[in-house]
Structure 1
């Protein structure tokens, strides 16, 4: 059960799903701290991905621990995080630091992600790695706290779906951009 006074939310999915867009919108609407997991990557991880080499579990463990520390530092406020969290083992590691963490899995069709990634300029994650993310993705298991949303919906509709799934959040009346995630 999620504590509506101190929600811990992680928007998850493959690169290009719209995690950061929805995460920032949720953060603004709920008045919670926001972090993009991309900001926690080591220079070695960034170089590896920039070179088109997928990360391995050993590359991700220190990254996930750093994110977990950020989560653990917010017990009184809650927070919103955008993080791929592709495997259950990654999500379990994050929940070790924030047991109340709930996941919002943005689940776009592969053609939508490929289209979005093709238009993304200057990002360290090349479109060539998208397929490896789809292969690594383990959808939320029935016993994991969270919801699955169609990432092809406009941000306002995704935000509305999130707020409906988690009633009782202290919502601010802050409009969002209305664009697609």
Structure 2
């Protein structure tokens, strides 16, 4: 005995609606899987992975200008010869920029050396006195870790701490 196969027919409207739903769902699924990289982030918003003598985040006045998103480290000849902080980059960022200098309330004869390292390689160094500032822009493409360091370099022993500041220090993907 032969069985007749049942045919199911769909109207062209039903078929178009079913195909349309299938096609429109695919791009939405793919778009949600794509992770957008942030365009910029201030270091003051990130906890360092490590820091030898501690780091402060907040506002700093450098050479008469106020920088609200700063990373601040202290150093002196006797107790804290340098300050440093290491940050995780995760190979996500292209540039690091900041305005560097001693905080304006540091002793007037203070001199600090500022250094930027990425994955252990020094990318920038500069000596600064109170009342000086310098805008830096460092390529960190493909780097895993960023280390900032300030070292005491004054020839005189100063009783108060010196404060090295990285004004509005940020990571970006231009």
By the TM > 0.5 criterion, same fold?
Answer: no
More strand by percentage: 2
TM-score w.r.t. structure 1 length? 0.24
Q: Which has the larger radius of gyration?
A: 2
More helix by percentage: 1
Compare relative contact order (CA 8 Å, sep 6+) and give the higher one, 1 or 2. 1
